[in-house]
Structure 1
Amino acid sequence: MKYFYSLCAAMLIFCTNSFGQITGKVLDGGDQSPVIGATIKNKSNVGTSSDATGSFTINVPAGTDLEFSFIGYETKTVKAANGMVVTLSPSSTSLSEVVISVGSRNSKRTLTDTPLPVDIVATKELTSTGQTTFDKALQYRVPSFNTVQTPVNDATSLLDPYEIRNMGPSRTLILINGKRKNMSSLLYTQTSPGRGETGADISAIPVDMIKRVEILRDGASAQYGSDAIAGVMNIILKDDANNGGVTLRSGITSKGDGEMYGVAINNGNSLGKDGFVNYTLDMSQSKLANRPGTVDAAGEAADFGANINDVKAFLAKYPDARNINGSPNTTAMKFAGNAGKKISATGEIYANFGYVYKKVNSFANFRTPYWRTLSSFPYLKDFFGDGTAASYQGYVPTFDGDLVDYNGTLGFKSSRNDWNTDVSFTTGGNEQTYTVTNSHNRNGTLNPDGTNKYKENSPIIFKPGGTRFTHNVGNIDINRRLNDKVGVAFGSEFRSENFTVIEGDLASYEDGGADSFAGNDPRNSGTFNRYNIGAYADVAVDFSDNFLINGTARLENYSDFGSAFVWKLSTRYKFADDKVTLRASASTGFKAPTLHQIYTQKAQYSFVPGQGIQVGGLVSNVSREARLLGLPSLKPEKSMNITMGVGLNPSKNLSITLDYYNIAVKDRIILSTEIGSTAAGNTKLDGVLKENNLSDLSFFVNGLNTRTAGIDFVSSYRKIAVGEGKLNVNLAGNYTMKNEREGAVNNPSIVASAGQSVVNGTQEALFFTSRPKFKAILGLDYQINKLGITLNNTLFGPTKFQQQGMSLDLYTEFKTKMVTDLGISFETTKNSTLQLNINNILNVLPEWSFKAHNAKGEALLKDAAALKNESNLITFNQRYSQMTYDGYHFSQLGTIFNLSWNFRF
């Protein structure tokens, strides 16, 4: 704490300057109510914002021109004077003044002028959720956005998969201030949504650094290149030069675990006359929250060939078989900044950066004494006991992950003779390394003298290695309004990518490696590189104030698979005094196979229903094994995206949008299901499995054509008078009309000839039905004087799974559930606010049940013993009874209490 107080003092001294202090209020020009959160700044970007009473303080000389702005109001410039009262007039449309930078490479447009569907999420909306990370906050604010926490952690505990419109994490492009963010080095290989893909680590971005988020719900490969098939998320960082604060956070679950502590410091300062810097330091820790199930003895005995009495005796003492699953212990330090400075009348330099260190401590499945027995491994009583047989009660391997993620951009903008030029360089990277403890290498490699190299001579701490991804990106973007009707833009991007598989220590991988998580073999490790260069051209024609057409074309060339050409055409028409907007777009897109998908090869532990944990192999697409099997090289996915929508602004405080989307993806890249040996046992496939001592193998392949269609609905009704306060109502939803495979599975010949397929019912469920069929959010925000109350209701529609190993006559369905979050904030002083959030206040938990595909399934539903066996298969004998083994889309932790206190400098 001494360090913390010193740091706060240093920040306060740093932000102090010699300007005079101006105080005032910002009021609504109609009813004279306070405007909360209005931005006040001078031409040098020295700024602040109004509090819950509309009051503000800013350090500038009297007479300075101050610009006042807020969503839904006309921007106003007034000369600074102490005690000033500024009234803002509501704009004709509630969001017309929000200038967005995503959706077109041409000149920026206001939200109601864009021909594309864009969500704007402000910082206040994110913090009001009470969620501790950016991705979880979006989950409860954006209906088309979903994220999932997998119950079996391992490397996935470092980064949860997320997606827009059920399209997987790799098909949403993440930008920071309009520049591409680096991907994570983690490849999801668990049987969970996002399997076989990777995405950017958006949880690494401190919420206190975010000004707003722009989410383009439309294909945008023509504007931005690969990965933008489902849409684009542009994270705009704060740019206040004289506005900051400290936020203290704490939280706990209703079960008394999962304690969370955090502190975030955000501050700004001017850089000379025409510049600013804003920065945030965020430090937090979340402790373990454990939600194990009650394990079934009969299922255990059958899986492990154990004596039922031994199993019952152990479970009598430990009903959960000492399993630990839920939310792992996570410690994080995040640092981010944003800066800009004019260097001439026509030019400015800008920069932003981010750095995060995250450490996660999680656990593998507990190895019970009837699973890892003393009869097979007599030395375990010495490793995990006091040397006596009675002291050995099994062991649980721990999994520690260390993550470092960084990004930075340096650029120069100029505006000369109406030509706007932006030149930038962006770098970024993500590294994840692992440590396995409390484990052993149980395999029988022999030393030259005939003794065991491992087993009783095994270490119990292993370094399995990890992965690293880096990229360097150069951008040149130029645009100009040729006249009041026509605008043009063009530009180019060069990107170099590196993916590294970091080898583990010898004991972690040799002859099966560490029990629970095998390390990276040097033969599968190394650094792999590629580069690409792209160029685009964009033309926007405003035929009138109401009618717009925008066209974009892009050519991209990759060093490893060649070229891709994509295009986009969008239009918008407004009428009825801008109260009605019609919009539509059509575009082609592509997604390049990631280096992770091309080069990852490893042995991995996975749960096989009825067999427990088995070792399978993931075969690199360019490996010797891939050539032996005749696996085809990966090629890019191609897509066709159509969007049509309508926007309504019946009054200044009411806005409604409705958009239909239809996304067809050809040659979708998937991680195949586990391919096992054939009945004959004499094929090349069988040879590869035997040679590598694997139970099965999987690989990446362009295996599917898919189509996803649905509807997005977003509405907002602001400033409804309720008593002495004002109520804002937000209702939004996403409904999936179609999400399915089109045509046959594209099976490689080696798989087809073995009578198998790269896609089974489990895979199809993960791709198409494991996300909510629909999702809706009803948010109520009420402000009365210094008190603010938010009530957020998130409805998660049904999801369907076909879990691996269960009867093909059955499937599981998670029921529709509504999660209710309550937030209460109170302005304790002029500069401080106390906020209490009770998330999932009604303690709603996932519920699932078996459903029948056919008549045989109906018969199974009436057989209690058969159903119990099926349930054991998909929950690892009830270890994961609440979630099954595949994860789910809202918290398994129940009610969570969060308390925060914010002090503004």
Structure 2
Amino acid sequence: MRSLHFLLFLALCALPGLTVAQTVTGTVTDLGEPIIGATISAGSVGTVTDVDGTFELNLREAGTYTLNATYIGYTTEMREFTLAAGQTETWDIALVSGATNLDELVVVGSRTAPRSSTTSPLPVDVFTSDDLTTTGQLTFDKALQYRVPSFNTVQTPVNDATSLLDPYEIRNMGPSRTLILINGKRKNMSALLYTQTSPGRGETGADISAIPTDAIKRVEILRDGASAQYGSDAIAGVMNIVLKDNAEDGSVTLRTGITSEGDGAQYGIALNNGTNIGETGFINYTIDLSKIELANRPGTVSAAGEAGDFGASIEDVQSFLNRYPDARNINGSPETTASKFVVNFGSDVSENTEFYGNASYVYKKVNSFANYRTPYWRTEADFPYLADFFPNGDNGQYIGYVPTFEGNLNDYAGTVGFLTQKDGWIADVSFTTGGNEQTYTVSNSHNRNGTLNPDGTFKYRENSPINFDPGGTRFTHNVGNIDITRRLSDRVGIAFGSEFRSENFTVIEGDLASYEDGGADSFSGNDPRNSGTFNRYNFGGYADAAFDFTDDFLVNATVRLENYSDFGNAFVYKVSSRYKFADDKVTLRASFSTGFKAPSLHQIYTQKAQYQFVPGQGIQVGGLVSNASREARLLGLPALEPEKSTNFTAGIGLRPSSDLSITIDYYNIKVEDRLILSTEIGATDAGNTALDELLTANNLSDLSFFVNGLDTRTAGIDFVSNYRGLRFNDRSLVINLSGNYTLQNERIGDIKNPDIVASAGQSVANPTQEALFFTSRPRFKGILGLDYDWDKFGVSVNNTLFGPTEFRQQGLAAGLYTTFETKLVTDLSLIYRATEQFSLQFNANNIFNVLPEWSFKSESPAGEALLNDAAALQNQSNLITFNQRYSRMTYDGYHFSQLGTILTFSATLRF
């Protein structure tokens, strides 16, 4: 700890004072049309042009500067400026097509001065706001899905709270191993813990879907481990979202859309605007309001499967399904309403001090549904009062009911800070706060428990409410940062700093009827015994140095020490290097790092009963045991430890001509003591163990818990290329080809089963769990984009190839597994710029209406026999699709939209 205190002392001593900013402003155009994302730089200071081609570059000191204006596929423009203190100059630039220059300045990857994406020793992707909006996707995470090959996100069917926030991941590593930054500062995690059998199971991540695309200036994605630079959660990489800082211009965009089947209508309006604060400050704000209607894609339910599962007569089942072939199930894309607000601001407050900050608030409401309770599932004979509760038939008769699941999400974040500079030292001092709260409502349900009151009446059943408040969860954090950098010479740069972070996780208790005696049918509320607020804090420090031994050879090294209040110390380091030769046409780069991921408070303290789909058994109630609970001690469960990782990356960058650039990067990530949510552990054959007693006492079919259960290795290749050599009418056809291929994603060694699980002959990671971790993501993914602009028109065709996935659903017969087939999804975007201020955009996403398709595969003679037995295979299909309710995607979810073609239209007015 003394070393950390010493770093903090140095950071405080180095706080200096600063100079008034000198500014160069202007626009960058090509034949009169604005160029978005062009880089304007002076040494290590730079900026990129906004949506209308404008830029503002602030320089810290008076003096003479050589400015460079660069953009991929264009010649570089240079101009020298001599600026007095506080002086502002204008430079309007007309770039000429013909050269490829990838020197876009990026912040992530090193704590020293920013470098370009090609001179950085690490693989970094940069995407502008325009890159995201041309996808036609309504949310930020879905836009990234069709821009970044190593990024995947899925929308899961009927998984309760998961409908509020879709899981995402980089390089198949889960949502919790990618650190999200806003303007370089850590964003708060979501309150949601994924506990269902879906991608991201057992993890949590930041809600990136809550960030409005119109507020984003650019996105930097570091595809490399970065725990040494940024701390926990950066094992797979870092995503830095840079907010717009334009003070002069604004825009308003109206959006609408619908699926080709006539549902899922979407409406939205987004306003982005900026203004000056005094002579040296700015404020930029975004308001985004949107709504997406329900899109329903149920399957045709199997009568034989239903009769077998629910013990009903085939005649009763067939009679119901003749009227309602989909068993009135509702699954697909839920109704979602969102309000998003973002503000970014900054100002020079003295000659040597700049004040900056940003804030955001998001409210999201999602209305989704549980599985429909058919009249042969919840029968009137067993529950006579249901006829009065749910008279849903045409003549007021009971024909079942569908419980609703309504989620309310509130997410906020804010940062304030001071940036100072003196004698070459730059100090950045900031405070960040943020939080995410998710609360739920269950309606159109009942508590069916038969507990009697003292007077002999039922406490619930016919006396049950039909609306329930099951509670929810909340996560908040407060983060303080001090970061200090200095270029000691043209060859050496250093950085050091510290971070203090406190975190709070709250389980919000539900009302009594929502959890007592089984609680609401479909979703049980939080018991007060499992509720409360849990917290921890950590303190960390780092030191970073970059050595440019020559203009071509660079070495960067970082060390970090963290101390957590609940599990102690973590020490990690990183070394990276880059070497250029052949007149900068070839660049070699590599890095090696160690990393860690602390167990989240969600993973340590979540304990609840939850409804879950168990193939062949229908909906069951299982228990999730907190690792810090009394029950965990009775079971002898070990305390959670941080994950530890090693990450090796090596790559090559090629620029054989001015029109072609290629980068290829290999990565290899080993994670030890990987944190997982165990599979469902059931009763033992003996029936007399502590495990059996716990299940019986709590009326549970099974239980699960968190454990450091696996060591894993993930390896693959990322490929990115750009070509502008095809020219028509003095304009280039831009071809972008990128891809990700997974070479290895597997467990190393044996599963680490606690004694109580091993002695029961069970495992914390069964084939279903391991498939979720290792094979349920696309084995490869490729993106081919074609972009061409002429006069007032622009066209973009984007093709995304989703590779095959494999899954082994729980309960599937031995020798069988399922495979989602390789599919190519094509998106079309058309833009018409009617005037300089007004433009129209039309998108046809998944224009050829490609839908997910899966099939059974065999891995043994027993599997081959099943493939040749149509009746047996139909039973297996019913098993994993809940009798065909989820025939398109099974319970694993899917890897692109099951909604088919989606048409969207937008109109943008700039002012």
> Same fold, TM exceeding 0.5?
yes
Is 1:71 equivalent to 2:77 in the alignment? Answer: no
Q: 1:255 to 1:621 in 2, by over 3 A?
A: same
Query: Which whole-Å CA distance do the structure 2 matches of 1:700 and 1:863 have between them?
Result: 39
Does 1:618 find its partner at 2:624?
Answer: yes
**Residue of structure 2 aligned with 1:756, choices 755, 762, 770:** 762
1:875 — aligned with what? Answer: 881
Alignment of structure 1 residues 344-423 onto 2, 5 Å: 344-385=350-391, 391-423=397-429
* 1:72-95 deviation digits (Å, cap 9, x = unpaired): 364656999999973336797511
Gaps of 5+ in 1: 1-21, 59-64
Query: Aligned-pair distance for 1:111?
Result: 1.4
Say whether 1:337 aligns with 2:328. Answer: no
- Structure 1 pair 152–348 and aligned structure 2 pair: CA distance change class (3 A): same
The answer to whether 1:102 aligns with 2:101 is no
Separation of aligned partners in 1, 2:585 and 2:817: 47
Contact 2:497-2:542 within 8 A present in 1 as well: yes
Q: Does the CA-based 8 Å contact 1:46-1:242 persist in structure 2? A: no
* Counterpart Cα distance in 2 of 1:387 and 1:731: 54
- 1:742–1:135 Cα change, 3 Å: same
Match of 1:300 in 2: 306
Given candidates 526, 531, 539, the residue that maps to 2:545 is 539
In the other structure, the counterpart of 1:10 is none
Q: 1:24 to 1:703 in 2, by over 3 A?
A: closer
Distance across 2 between alignment mates of 1:25 and 1:571: 35
The residue number in structure 1 matching 2:269 is 263
Distance in 1 between residues matched to 2:800 and 2:443, nearest whole Å: 39
Q: Residue 591 of structure 1 aligns to which amino acid in structure 2? A: K
Q: Structure 1 length as normaliser, TM-score?
A: 0.93
Corresponding residue to 1:119 among 120, 125, 128: 125
Which amino acid in the other structure matches residue 662 of structure 1?
Answer: N
Name the TM-score, length of structure 2 as normaliser. 0.93
1:349 and 1:413 in contact (8 A); partners too: yes
1:727 positional shift: 1.1
Corresponding residue number in structure 2 for 1:887: 893
CA contact (8 A) 1:540 1:550 kept: yes
In structure 1, what is the equivalent of residue 646 of structure 2?
Answer: 640
Deviations 1:306-349 (A, max 9, x none): 11110000000000000000000000000001111112232201
State which drifts further: 566-575 or 644-653: 644-653
Rounded Cα–Cα distance in structure 2 between residues aligned with 1:747 and 1:180: 34
Q: Distance in 1 between the 2:435 and 2:415 partners?
A: 12
What is the letter of the counterpart of residue 86 of structure 1? I
CA distance in 2, matches of 1:451, 1:616: 28
Change (3 A) 1:173 1:125: same
- Matched with 2:910 is 904
Q: 1:214 aligns with which of 212, 220, 228?
A: 220
Instruction: Report the alpha carbon displacement of residue 57 of structure 1 after superposing the two structures with TM.
Output: 14
Q: 2:710 aligns with which of 680, 704, 716?
A: 704
Q: 1:865 maps to what in 2?
A: 871
Check the 8 A contact 1:189/1:195 in 2, yes or no: yes
Quickly say closer, same or farther: Cα 1:90–1:542, change in 2 above 3 A.
farther
- Quickly say closer, same or farther: Cα 1:208–1:804, change in 2 above 3 A: same
- SS of aligned partner of 1:469: strand
Question: 2:38·2:71 contact (CA, 8 Å) conserved in 1?
Answer: no
- The CA distance in 2 between the partners of 1:872 and 1:92, in whole Å, is 58
Q: 2:751 aligns with which of 711, 722, 745?
A: 745
3-state SS in 2 of match to 1:116? coil
Please show how residues 537-576 of structure 1 align to structure 2 within 5 Å: 537-576=543-582
Q: Which runs of 4+ in 1 moved over 4 A?
A: 22-28, 32-35, 38-51, 54-58, 65-70, 75-85, 89-93, 386-390
2:842 is aligned with 1:817: no
Residue 785 of structure 2 corresponds to residue 779 of structure 1: yes
Using the TM superposition, name which of 723-732 and 894-903 deviates more: 723-732
**Separation in 1 of the partners of 2:266 and 2:220?**
29
Q: Which amino acid aligns with 2:101?
A: S
Residue from 73, 81, 86 that aligns with 2:93: 86
The answer to whether the aligner puts 1:246 opposite 2:245 as a matched pair is no
Q: Deviations over 1:832-861 (max 9, x none)?
A: 110000000000000010000101101110
1:460 has 2:459 as partner? no
Q: Tell me if the contact between 1:536 and 1:552 (Cα under 8 Å) persists in the aligned partners.
A: yes
1:688 aligns to 2:687 (yes or no): no
CA shift in 2, pair 1:55/1:149, >3 Å: closer
Structure 1 residue identity aligned to 2:449: N
Structure 1 residue 801 corresponds to structure 2 residue 802: no
**Aligned counterparts of 2:592 and 2:646: Cα–Cα separation in 1:** 7
Return closer, same or farther for 1:537/1:38 CA change in 2, 3 Å cut-off: closer
Number of aligned positions between the proteins:
872
Amino acid in the other structure paired with 2:718: D
Deviations 1:254-298 (A, max 9, x none): 000000000000001111111111110000000000000000001
Counterpart of 1:495 in structure 2 is: 501
Q: Which residue of 2 is the match for residue 170 of structure 1? A: 176
What is the alpha-carbon distance in structure 2 between the residues aligned to residue 26 and residue 198 of structure 1? 41
Q: Amino acid of the residue matched to residue 726 of structure 1? A: S
Aligned position for 1:315: 321
1:18-40 deviation digits (Å, cap 9, x = unpaired): xxxx9997555xxx675533669
Structure 1 Cα separation of the partners of residues 475 and 886 of structure 2: 32
Whole-angstrom distance in 2 between the partners of 1:370 and 1:885: 23
Aligned AA (2:899): L
Q: Does 1:228 align with 2:227?
A: no
Q: Quick check: 1:45–1:276 contact (8 Å CA) kept in 2?
A: no
Against the structure 1 CA distance between its residues 557 and 48, is the aligned structure 2 distance closer, same or farther, given a 3 Å change threshold? closer
Task: Specify the alignment match of 1:484 in structure 2.
Answer: 490
Superimposed CA distance per residue, residues 463-517 of structure 1 (whole angstroms, 9 cap, x where no aligned partner): 0000000000000000111111111111000000000000000000000000000
Spell out, residue by residue over 1:784-821, the C-alpha distance to the aligned partner (whole angstroms, 9 max, x if none).
Answer: 11100000000000000000111121000000000000
Find the residue that maps to 1:113 and give its secondary structure: coil
Q: Distance in 1 between matches of 2:708 and 2:440?
A: 30
Q: Give the equivalent residue in structure 2 for 1:202.
A: 208
Question: What is the CA distance between 1:624 and its match in structure 2?
Answer: 0.9
More deviation, 235-244/284-293: 235-244
Amino acid at match of 1:235: I
Partner of 1:779, secondary structure, is strand
Which one is further off, 456-465 or 335-344? 335-344
2:584 equivalent in structure 1: 578
Residue pair 2:300, 2:325 contacting (<8 A) in 1 also: yes
- Displacement after TM superposition at 1:388 (Å): 12
Structure-1 separation of matches of 2:612 and 2:123? 40
Write the letter of the residue equivalent to 1:526: G
Q: How big is the shift at 1:42? A: 13
Does the 8 A contact of 1:26 with 1:50 survive in 2? no
The one-letter code matched in structure 1 to 2:316 is: D
Distance 1:837 1:115, change over 3 A: same
User: How much does 1:154 deviate?
Assistant: 1.3
- Cα distance, 1:450 vs. partner? 1.7
Partner SS state of residue 122, structure 2: coil
Q: Compared with structure 1, are the counterparts of its residues 841 and 789 closer, same or farther at alpha carbon in structure 2 (3 Å cutoff)?
A: same
Match of 1:846 in 2: 852
Aligned-pair identity (%): 70
Q: Tell me if structure 2 keeps the 8 A contact 1:731–1:779.
A: yes
Cα deviations across residues 123-167 of structure 1 (Å, max 9, x unaligned)? 111000000000000000000000010011310110000000000
Alpha carbons of structure 1 residues 559 and 147: separation in structure 2 relative to 1, 3 Å: same
Find the partner of 1:471 among 471, 477, 482: 477
CA distance in 1, matches of 2:354, 2:32: 38
Compute the RMSD of aligned alpha carbons. 2.5
Q: Equivalent residue for 2:60? A: none
Trace 1:488-527 onto structure 2 (pairs within 5 A). Answer: 488-527=494-533
1:221-265 superposed Cα distances (whole Å, 9 cap, x missing partner): 000000000000000111111011000000000000000000000
8 Å Cα contact 1:429-1:469 kept in structure 2: yes
Cross-structure match for 2:36: 37
Deviations 1:432-451 (A, max 9, x none): 00000000000012222121
Is the contact between residue 74 and residue 90 of structure 1 (CA under 8 Å) also seen in structure 2?
no
Residue in 1 aligned with 2:615? 609
For structure 2, the 5+ residue unaligned runs are 1-23, 58-64, 82-86
Compute the displacement of 1:718 (Å): 2.9
